[in-house]
Copies of this chain bind each other. A is one copy, B any other.
Amino acid sequence: MKNYSFVPFYKTVLTDGFWKDRQKLNADVSIPNVYKRFKETDRIDCLYPWWKRPLSHSDLFYDSDTAKWLEAAAYVLHANRADYPELEKSCDEVIELLKKRQQSNGYLNSYFQRRPFLPKFHSRPDHELYCAGHIMEAAVAYFQATGKDALLSVAEKYADHIRDRFMIKQNTAFSTPGHEEIELALFRMYEATGKEKYKELAEFFLNKRGTVKEKTYRTFYDAYDQHEIPVRELSSAEGHAVRAMYLYCGMADMARISGDDGMLSACKRLFDDACKKMYVTGGIGSDYNGECFTIPYDLPNRTAYSESCAAISFMMFCRRMLLLEKDGRYADVIERIMYNNFLSGVSLNGKAFFYENPLEICRTDLTRSRTVIKRPRLPQWQRQEVFKCSCCPPNINRTVASIGDYIFTENETETVLHQYVACESDSLRVETNYPIDGKIIVRGQGYGKNLFSVRVPAWCKDATLSLNGKKVAVFPEKGYVTLKVDPDFTLELTLDMNPFFIKTHPLCRENRNKVALQRGPVVYCLEEKDNGDIVPLAVVGSGPFTETENNLTPLPFIDVQGKELSAGATYYEGECDAKERTLRFIPYYAFGNRGESDMKVWVPLA
């Protein structure tokens, strides 16, 4: 196995363009605003011993929310510490609170420490290990960003305590986390500190999982949190999608770090299966009930759960798989998520977030019955600043801030370019306006390896490539073209960015005879705002496409020929009435930014 390592975001400074703008908004607006809302909702103050308020269920997740925000802030500081002294001050204050709150034995959980009468690690569904994992991730990030080790010490002490209770003494009421995350965090601790004990604890949790009967959730089967069978035997992506993907991240880490081939095979099977359960936006977990995976191609649009965190966790898993295999399918999925389900999770002004990301909004779903008081359960149609369980906003914060992690992987002989983001590292510079246009220039200056690989996305039918001005034939192997390069080189990749219509596998009942519009990696949608009532609309399913600049997004709106259908009867033979008209598509990620509006990604063919 010829592993790769990733080139971390702080070695690849984003220079300009699409993602640089996003990062600036994230650092200047989103992260401060999430902090403000967390303050207002007691997520910070709950760390004070004097803090009192009736406990609510959502308080369970508070430490993980805070930790993810800290992690996001750490990435901002890592890239640009001088510009954010206030942010660093806020972080240090929160870290001080965490440090003070930690018990002498290492235990740290704001929820359970407010319930001293209850034993710790007693209730598996109560997210203690999940919160602990996020504290560890934040600790590593903050240490790497600032060199300050206060939080890392807290995290290590807590990890040691967990190791003592779960692995050494085994005196806890359950054996494995009810919500995975700590496994990948422990591997991260291991890689940051070099301490074997964290790797061993991660392996312990992974090896144990599915081998013991756990006292756990009442409303879910064991597949819900993936403890039905030993993890190396998994082949179907099942259960709570975020839990599943965090687990798979840990498994992929173990495959790479511990050289565990059983884990690698399972990860490959799980990736293949998850791709059959993935929305065109990259969203996963189609069912709100359990926030879970269902069966292949079961992808309802209006009730799509498709949680922002699930999309992010799928990106994280794919990034880890890219360290194990140079296979463009992983990078293609990352790209699909990055520009669609991930970006849709945050409003264009950076202040508000989606937890769920539906693929269709039909507001009459809420008013279709004038008789029943209890309304159907549907996703929210407008982004919110904070949620009771507010996992998604800081998860988006930390991922935007570290999006540079997804650009390159490397090993001794080659660097691989996965995502086209304008950036520069020591000896490489990527110039691009992608995904606004399809031209990507990579310049090597004193590049120290013989090979350079560049991904050609599966969606792209026409790519041209030149090296030092000379055209190179494009025959990608598993999605990549690998070139022999000199220390100084100029590579130019041009991707055809003409819009195109795609279809879903015929086993997806909901999307039969419907198409979605895609331009590059960006999926488009119809909004009522531009089109009036979208229910009777249909597309012809081919061009021409007219692109229009607009004030909403740097990407063009796309106008295309369509029809507005009507009929004189409920049932009829032959053809219905059709009025020719133009349909206006906008990027999916931008929907819901101009007030409530019906929306759909999958549009019936005329």
Contacts and interface: CB of A to CB of B under 8 A. Distances in A.
Interface of A: 218-221, 223-224, 238-240, 275-276, 278, 280, 287, 289-290, 292-295, 297-298, 362, 364, 367-374, 376, 461, 500-509, 512-514, 535-536, 538, 565-567, 569-573, 576, 604-605
Given A221-B371, A512-B604, A573 B501 contact: yes
Contacts of A461: 573
Contacts of A221: 370-373
Contacts of A289: 369, 372, 374, 376
A535 to B, nearest CB: 6
A512 B287 CA distance: 24
Number of copies of this kind of chain in the complex: 2
28 contacts: A219-B373, A219-B374, A220-B371, A223-B370, A238-B370, A287-B369, A287-B372, A289-B372, A289-B374, A290-B371, A292-B372, A297-B570, A298-B364, A298-B368, A501-B573, A502-B572, A503-B572, A503-B573, A503-B576, A504-B570, A504-B571, A505-B567, A506-B536, A506-B566, A506-B576, A509-B535, A512-B604, A513-B604
Given A239-B371, A512-B513, 6 more contacts: A220-B372, A503-B567, A503-B572, A504-B570, A505-B571, A506-B538
B569 A505 contact: yes
A573 B370 CA distance: 41
B571 A371 contact: no
A368 B572 CA distance: 34
A570 B502 CA distance: 10
Contact of A571 (B224, B502, B513): B502
Contacts of A280: 571
A505 B371 contact: no
Given A513-B512, A604-B513, A506 B371 contact: no
A241 to B, nearest CB: 10
Contacts of A376: 289
Given A364-B295, A512-B604, A538-B512, A573 B502 contact: yes
Most buried by B among A369, A371, A535, A566: A371
B502 A290 contact: no
Nearest to A576: B506
A371 B276 contact: no
A503 B513 CA distance: 14
Nearest to A374: B219
Contact of A506 (B287, B508, B567): B567
Contacts of A374: 219, 289
A379 B114 CA distance: 46
Contacts of A294: 368-369
A21 B536 CA distance: 44
Contact of A570 (B278, B362, B372, B569): B278
A573 B462 CA distance: 14
Nearest to A277: B570
A391 to B, nearest CB: 19
A345 B307 CA distance: 41
A563 to B, nearest CB: 9
A364 B219 CA distance: 20
Contacts of A538: 506, 512
A240 B369 CA distance: 10
B573 A373 contact: no
A276 B467 CA distance: 63
A518 B354 CA distance: 45
A299 to B, nearest CB: 9
Given A512-B604, A604-B512, A290 B220 contact: no
A535 B507 contact: yes
Nearest to A239: B371
A258 B361 CA distance: 48
Contacts of A369: 287, 289-290, 292-295
B505 A362 contact: no
Nearest to A458: B569
A293 B292 CA distance: 31
B224 A372 contact: yes
A240 B509 CA distance: 29
A207 B229 CA distance: 66
Top 9 closest pairs, chain A to chain B, by CB: A513-B513, A506-B565, A224-B371, A512-B604, A294-B368, A290-B372, A239-B371, A223-B370, A505-B567
A570 B459 CA distance: 12
Contacts of A370: 221, 223, 238-239
Contacts of A298: 364, 368
